[in-house]
Amino acid sequence: MIAVIKTGGKQYLVREGQELVIEKLGLEDGATVDFEPLLVTKVDGSDTKVGTPTVSGAKVSAKVLATAKGKKVSVIKFKSKSNYRRNVGHRQIHTTIKIEKITA
C-alpha cells in the first residue's frame, strides 16, 4: 500500500512502516496524526487512484517519534571595501514520523 501525502508545502510518497522526516508539526512525541485528503493511493493488487485534486475517503495514520533541530545553515553577507560582514545561522525544526496505516 502506498500513498502520496502533502504536508509542510511538500509532497511525500509513503509506505506503511516507513520513517519520514518532515517539517515541524507542533505535536508531542507519541501522538498520532492523520494526513487527509491524499493525492494518490494504491492498494496492493488494485488500480492506482489519482485524485482530482484529492482522493476522498482515504487517510494515512502516523505516529510522531521525535522533534529535533536539523543541521545548521550559515547565511553570510559580505560587501567589499566597506568593512561589512554578517554571519547568521539557522536551524530548522523537523518532526520524525512513522507511517502506521494507510486506509483507502
pLDDT tens profile 26-80: 899 999 999 887 777 776 667 777 777 777 777 889 999 999 999 999 999 999 9
Q: Answer yes or no: are the C-beta atoms of 87 and 74 closer than 8 Å.
A: yes
pLDDT in tens, 88-104: 999 999 999 999 988 87
- Show the domain range for 69: 2-103
pTM of the model: 0.78
Query: Based on C-alpha coordinates, what's the Rg of the chain?
Result: 19
- Return the biggest CA–CA distance within the chain: 67
Q: Answer yes or no: are the C-beta atoms of 21 and 7 closer than 8 Å.
A: no
Residue type at position 100: E
Domain count, the chain: 1
Query: Parallel, antiparallel, or unpaired for β 19-23 and 2-7?
Result: unpaired
What nine digits make up the cell of 101? Answer: 496505516
